[in-house]
């Protein structure tokens, strides 16, 4: 199949970027989107042009690196999937495909399609952990946790920190990410002791990084490759407000 | 900053202010629509005028009304602050977006819908509230007691087709604002529960987004049809 691409090219964070047109004539519908970009990069190299810089690592939907805003959607037209899990059969012959980086004040562009997502790391460093050693895998089996609670924690823990929620949100809000991190620790006994202060610290860091507020449009959850539920945002709100009103921290 | 101002200045705290003022406005809408249903009584406005008298003289109602004015102002100001902050969170826009694929239109346009509502509120208060408090309203006498005949002001205002049209369009905006706003208000407060959220979503759609705006819109339409003689 044939595709017309419009890809965001930007030399570095300070440079002016623009959408550049490329055409690929021999694309297999079975290629993943990233493989298609690899082919394009191969052609660019042959022509002596600079390759398109993009983040990727596992190429199996678990690392969260492959950030691309494709045809107006985070990770493209599929739901519940990352860019590496998107295949060219999701497009039609002759389609024009616009590829942009995540756009958010907190995610500055490094080069082309690569953005700096270290704001997420700092939000996690602010409180997304359990302060004491909770033991090794064997010890986990000694703390009995009812199945529904373990499932709830696992649903939240599936978050791979890809940033699609921020990219898709009209406010570039990181609430779904922060909610997933707060939730997955808050419902487990090992994380409960620090649950409420954790919410305070992580929200403070989220605000400091320059993410927007939540308008509850639900775009994040639809575009999240792990379909993290909006229930977790409600829990984050509850933990945060409850802590603000009752904690000893002034 | 004390913990209170710090909380209220956080993104979540600002949303709590939106939610509390917004949901308070929702409770006001119930009272307002119920009271004004008296316009439909075919009694030349007596019940409506007596009700207006009560609403402007009862001390409890008067206190609550100041809370209401404050809520509208705070809600609108906070909406402005939040909207600007949210826009600043994405300084470089996407060249191409497809938001209809992942979120309802109303949820993405609360600011525009709210601005329509604010203009409507100013116009509405100028026509009725200002006239009632500071303007010249004709008098009516029931059982030897003098009442301001606000009903006549209502009749006059709703005899103009364009004024009726503004009301109907504004009520459509109210419906769209509340179809998202009502349920969002609860989400902001962290109130989401398998047992109660479906009920709240039902109320949000059928009562706050459809029934209440429709009843409000029916008032000017009814008065206009009465004026042109289509209904008696
Ligand atoms: C009858 C009048 C109004 C009612 C009953 C009302 C109600 C509400 C409710 C319940 C919410 C949800 C709060 C939340 O998500 O936590 C809301 C949000 C909002 N309102 Fe209103 N509102 C009214 C008028 C206005 C006006 C006059 C404006 C603007 C000038 C406005 C702008 C907004 C905005 C921008 C939001 C969304 C905030 C966000 O999600 O970030 N509203 N409103
Ligand atoms: S919540 Fe979903 S969209 Fe957001 S970072 Fe985690 S996995 Fe990605
Ligand atoms: S490259 Fe790892 S999730 Fe796509």
DSSP letters spanning B163-213: HHHHHHHHHHHHHHHHHHHHHHHHHHTT---TTTHHHHHHIIIIIIIIIHH
- pLDDT at residue A135 greater than cutoff 90: no
Indicate which atom in ligand 3 lies nearest the CA of residue A56.
Answer: 1
Beta bridge partners, A7, equal: A20, A99
Q: Report yes or no: A209 and A169 within 8 Å, Cβ to Cβ.
A: no
Helix (H, G, I), strand (E, B) or coil at A107: strand
Least CB-CB distance to B102: which of A222, A238, A239?
A222
Is residue B100 in some structural domain? Answer: no
Same domain, residue pair A12 and A130: no
A212 and B187 within 8 Å at the Cβ level: the answer is no
Subunit contact A212:B92, Cβ cutoff 8 A: no
Residue B102, domain member (yes or no): no
Q: What is the A12 CA–ligand 1 centroid distance (Å)?
A: 40
> Do A105 and A125 share a domain, yes or no?
no
Among residues A67, A94, A110, which one ends one of the domains?
A: A110
Note the pLDDT tens digit of each residue in B143-172: 989 899 999 999 999 999 999 999 999 999
Does A18 contact chain B (CB < 8 Å)?
no
Closest by Cβ to A217, choosing from B7, B107, B192: B107
- Looking at the structure of chain A, the number of domains it has is 2
Q: Is the pLDDT of residue B229 over 90?
A: no
Q: What's the confidence (pLDDT) of residue A247? A: 81
- Say if residue A126 is in the same domain as residue A63: no
Domain co-membership, A121 together with A242: yes
Is the pLDDT confidence value at B111 over 90?
A: yes
Residue A212 β-bridge partners: A173
Give the pTM: 0.93
| A59 Cβ inside 6 Å of ligand 3 | yes
Residues A98 and A142 in one domain: no
The vertex-A171 CA angle with A167 and A176, nearest 5°, equals 65
Ligand 1 pocket test, pick from B110, B123, B208, B217 with the greatest ligand atom count within 8 Å of Cβ, gives B110
**Beta strand segments in chain A, E:** 3-9, 18-24, 69-70, 73-74, 96-100, 109-111, 114-115
Interval A63-85: pLDDT, tens? 999 999 999 999 999 999 999 99
B64 lines ligand 1 (CB under 6 A): no
Q: Is B103 on the interface with A (CB under 8 A)?
A: yes
A104 and A123 in a common domain: no
> What is the pLDDT at residue B59?
94
For residue A73, the SS3 value is: strand
> Does A140 have pLDDT greater than 90?
no
Q: Choosing among A212, A229, A236, which should be mutated to test the B contact, i.e. which has the most B CBs within 10 A?
A: A212
Residue range B215-226: mean pLDDT, rounded: 96
* β-pair partners for B147: B140
B115 contacts: CB under 8 Å, gap ≥ 6 = none
Mean pLDDT over A96-118 rounds to 98
Looking at A78, A94, A110, the residue that finishes a domain is A110
Q: Which of B82, B90, B103 is facing A104, going by the closest CB pair?
A: B90
- In the DSSP assignment, the letter for residue A173 is B
Q: Å from A135 to nearest chain B CA?
A: 32
What pLDDT, in 10s, does the model give residues A170-186? Answer: 999 999 999 999 999 99
Interface probe with B: pick from A79, A219, A237, most Cβ of B within 10 Å? A237
Q: Which residues pair with A3 in a beta bridge?
A: A24
In a domain? residue B96: no
Please tell me whether residues A227 and A159 are part of one structural domain: yes
Mean pLDDT of A110-130: 97
Q: pLDDT class for A249, splitting at 50, 70, 90?
A: confident
Tell me the average pLDDT across A234-243.
94
Pocket residue to mutate for ligand 3, from A65, A70, A80, A113, most atoms within 8 A of Cβ = A65
Average pLDDT (A17-24) is 96
Confidence of residue B6 (pLDDT cuts 50, 70, 90): confident
Residue A142 confidence (pLDDT): 86
Domain count, chain B: 1
> A237 contacts in B (CB within 8 Å)?
12, 187-190
> Do residues A142 and A208 both lie within one domain?
yes
Q: Are A99 and A6 spatial neighbours (Cβ–Cβ below 8 Å)? A: yes
B91 contacts on A by Cβ (under 8 Å): 105
Give the domain range for residue A8. 3-110
Q: What is the ipTM of this complex?
A: 0.91
Domain with B183 in it: what CATH number? 1.20.1300
- CATH number of the domain bearing residue A216: 1.10.1060.10
Nearest atom within ligand 1 for CA of residue B186? 16
Q: Is A8 in the same domain as A104?
A: yes
Average pLDDT over every residue of B50-71:
94
Q: Which 3 state secondary structure label does DSSP give A217?
A: coil
Residues A141, A62: one domain?
A: no
Q: Residue B147: give the domain boundaries.
A: 3-88+109-227
Q: Do B3 and A223 touch (CB under 8 A)?
A: no
Mean pLDDT throughout B22-40?
96
Give the domain CATH number at A36: 3.10.20.30
**CB of residue A225 inside a 6 A radius of ligand 3:** no
Tell me the best of B117, B174, B176, B186 to mutate to test the pocket of ligand 1, counting ligand atoms within 8 Å of each CB and taking the most.
B117
Has residue B1 got a pLDDT over 70? no
pLDDT confidence of residue B105: 97
Q: Kindly state whether residues A131 and A94 are assigned to the same domain.
A: no
Q: How close B15 comes to chain A (CA, Å)?
A: 8
């Amino acid at each position: 199949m044939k595709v017309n691409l419009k890809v965001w090219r930007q030399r570095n964070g300070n440079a002016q970027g623009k959408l550049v047109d490329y055409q690929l004539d021999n694309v297999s519908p079975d290629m993943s989107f990233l493989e298609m970009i690899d082919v394009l990069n191969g052609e660019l190299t042959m022509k002596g042009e600079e390759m398109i810089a993009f983040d990727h690592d596992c190429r199996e939907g678990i690392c969260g690196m492959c950030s691309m805003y494709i045809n107006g959607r985070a990770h493209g037209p599929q739901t519940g999937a990352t860019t590496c899990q998107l295949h060219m059969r999701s497009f039609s012959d002759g389609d024009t495909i616009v590829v942009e980086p995540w756009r958010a004040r907190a995610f500055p562009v490094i080069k082309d399609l690569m953005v700096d997502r270290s704001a997420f790391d700092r939000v996690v460093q602010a409180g997304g952990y359990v302060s004491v050693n909770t033991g090794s895998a064997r010890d986990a089996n000694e703390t009995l946790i009812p199945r529904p609670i373990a499932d709830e924690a696992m649903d939240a823990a599936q978050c791979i920190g890809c940033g699609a929620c921020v990219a898709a949100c009209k406010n570039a809000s990181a609430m779904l990410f922060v909610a997933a991190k707060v939730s997955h620790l808050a419902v487990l006994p090992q994380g409960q002791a620090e649950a409420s202060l954790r919410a305070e610290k992580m929200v403070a860091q989220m605000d400091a990084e320059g993410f927007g507020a939540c308008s509850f449009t639900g775009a994040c959850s639809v575009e999240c490759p792990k379909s993290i539920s909006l229930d977790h945002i409600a829990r984050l709100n509850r933990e945060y407000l409850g802590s603000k009103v009752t904690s000893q921290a002034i | 900053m004390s913990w209170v101002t710090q909380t209220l200045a956080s993104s979540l705290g600002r949303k709590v202010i939106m939610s509390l003022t917004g949901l308070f406005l929702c409770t006001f809408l119930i009272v307002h629509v119920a009271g004004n249903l008296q316009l439909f009584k075919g009694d030349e406005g007596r019940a409506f005028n007596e009700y207006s008298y009560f609403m402007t003289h009862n001390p409890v109602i008067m206190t609550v009304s100041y809370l209401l004015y404050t809520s509208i102002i705070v809600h609108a100001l906070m909406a402005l602050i939040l909207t600007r902050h949210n826009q600043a969170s994405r300084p470089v826009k996407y060249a191409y977006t497809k938001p209809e694929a992942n979120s309802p239109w109303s949820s993405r346009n609360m600011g525009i819908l709210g601005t329509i509502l604010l203009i409507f509120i100013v116009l509405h208060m100028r026509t009725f509230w200002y006239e009632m408090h500071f303007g010249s309203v004709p008098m009516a006498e029931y059982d030897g007691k003098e009442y301001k005949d606000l009903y006549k002001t209502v009749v006059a205002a709703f005899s103009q087709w364009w004024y009726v049209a503004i009301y109907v369009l504004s009520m459509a905006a109210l419906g769209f604002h509340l179809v998202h706003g009502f349920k969002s208000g609860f989400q902001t407060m962290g109130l989401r529960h398998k047992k109660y959220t479906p009920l709240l979503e039902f109320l949000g759609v059928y009562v706050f987004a459809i029934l209440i705006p429709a009843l409000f819109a029916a008032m000017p339409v009814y008065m206009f049809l009465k004026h042109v003689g289509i209904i008696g």
